Amino acid sequence: MKMFRAYLIGTALGLSLAGGALAQEDTIKIGVLHSLSGTMAISETTLKDTVLMLVDQQNAKGGLLGKKLEAVVVDPASDWPLFAEKARELLTVNDVDVIFGCWTSVSRKSVLPVIEELNGLLFYPVQYEGEESSKNVFYTGAAPNQQAIPAVDYFLEELGVEKFALLGTDYVYPRTTNNILESYLQQKGIAKSDIFVNYTPFGHSDWSKIVADVKALGADGKKVGVISTINGDANIGFYKELAAAGISAEDIPVVAFSVGEEELSGLDTSNLVGHLAAWNYFQSAESPENEAFIKEWKARMGEKRVTNDPMEATYIGFNMWVNAVTAAGTTDVDPVAKEMIGQKFPNLTGSEAEMLPNHHLTKPVLIGEIRDDGQFDIISQTDPVPGDAWTDFLPESAVLESDWAKLDCGMYNTETKSCVQIKSNY
């Protein structure tokens, strides 16, 4: 009798374990790889919350391929090598089908070898320096020709800026972007001596000397403008020092590439009115899609929580991935990646995003002016611009083309007619 009872218990346990395994197989796992602590948490925590909202929305629609979506959240803690470890954990231990994550380029480049080795799929939602195209990554943030170059053009053509201070955090994105901008500015007739470049560590807090140096640039009467690729919580100290030094937007305008509504929500913006940001989305954009997005976000997170550009990029990428999975009939990376090319989805600014063969989106370029409530007045907006993986303003990149549809290559040299691998300097 005891043996029979033991058999029944064992059988029941086996069925329970099998049922648990079956339940796990019946979910599609979404990896969320964003810093929830450390210097980048100020920006990245919101993107974690965005993915969780999108997962819940999709589950409310019935899931995907008849399965429920399950978010697997990890915290790489603003530690760049840890991003690679956490990406490997997501793919090999948690067995996720896709990863939405990274903010800084150094974190993305840390993850890239892991994603390619394990044939994972990463959606990267933040503006970046370009000069990259991976079969395993879809870049839903802006390339330089969709943010940095148009911002410089605005300074030159609309504000009459004659001297440029390129201020950035010391890592891949600011250095590569500023390398492109230095070349572009000189091609536009700005003397090298009229371009001031400075880099500071993540979390930098003492901005007095740098702001004083920027102010001194205009001693000869030439109009000075700041191009800011400062990232994370270092922006708080930078803008506070500008205000303390009595520098207004009329004196020395700043256009930021990494400051949006989320970063401004923690600042007294009364002294920042008139300074600028260049993005592809602002919360103040008027469209039915944006109104619905904001309403859902605030209902979930509270009235004080704002929306921003990387959230929109996450929203577009997530929905394109859902549609690509539906078209492929599977979450397997290769067929999904193939279906991603050509995907179209309404953005939140009133036009349509399209995923190009170079794994970059078409995106409108918006210039926003900071208001005293921490929001932006949109003072310039273009039609959607196709993202360039490789810039036209560096000789070694101008000959490169990315096309994963026809060429199956992210670095095709148009002169040698061959697919090449470019070694990073970082």
Kindly state whether residues 29 and 57 are assigned to the same domain.
yes
| pLDDT score, position 213 | 96
| pLDDT by 10-residue block (mean), the chain, 426 residues | 43 43 71 96 94 98 98 97 98 98 95 98 96 97 97 97 97 94 97 97 95 95 96 86 91 93 81 92 97 98 96 98 98 98 98 98 97 94 97 96 97 95 48
| pLDDT score, position 42 | 86
CA distance linking residue 250 with residue 245, whole number of Å: 14
| pLDDT score, position 422 | 53
Please report how the helices 105-117 and 80-92 are oriented relative to each other, as an axis angle in degrees rounded to 10.
30
| pLDDT score, position 403 | 98
CA distance linking residue 72 with residue 352, whole number of Å: 29
Kindly state whether residues 75 and 176 are assigned to the same domain.
no
Terminal-to-terminal C-alpha distance of the chain: 70
Q: What is the count of structural domains for the chain?
A: 2
| pLDDT score, position 82 | 98
CATH number, domain with residue 180: 3.40.50.2300
- Tell me the whole-structure pTM to 2 decimals: 0.88
Kindly state whether residues 201 and 300 are assigned to the same domain.
no
| pLDDT score, position 240 | 87
Query: Which of 363, 379, 413 marks a domain boundary?
Result: 363
Question: Which of the 8 DSSP states describes residue 423?
Answer: P
Kindly state whether residues 23 and 123 are assigned to the same domain.
yes
Residue range of the domain that includes 227: 146-279
Kindly state whether residues 71 and 101 are assigned to the same domain.
yes
| pLDDT score, position 25 | 65
| pLDDT score, position 6 | 45
Examine residue 125 and state whether it is found in any structural domain, yes or no: yes
Examine residue 306 and state whether it is found in any structural domain, yes or no: yes
Kindly state whether residues 134 and 259 are assigned to the same domain.
no
Kindly state whether residues 240 and 191 are assigned to the same domain.
yes
| pLDDT score, position 316 | 98
* 321 closest CA partner among 362, 279, 293, 355: 355
CA distance linking residue 50 with residue 58, whole number of Å: 12
Angle at 89 between CA 173 and CA 357, to 5 degrees: 50
CA distance linking residue 313 with residue 142, whole number of Å: 9
Examine residue 84 and state whether it is found in any structural domain, yes or no: yes
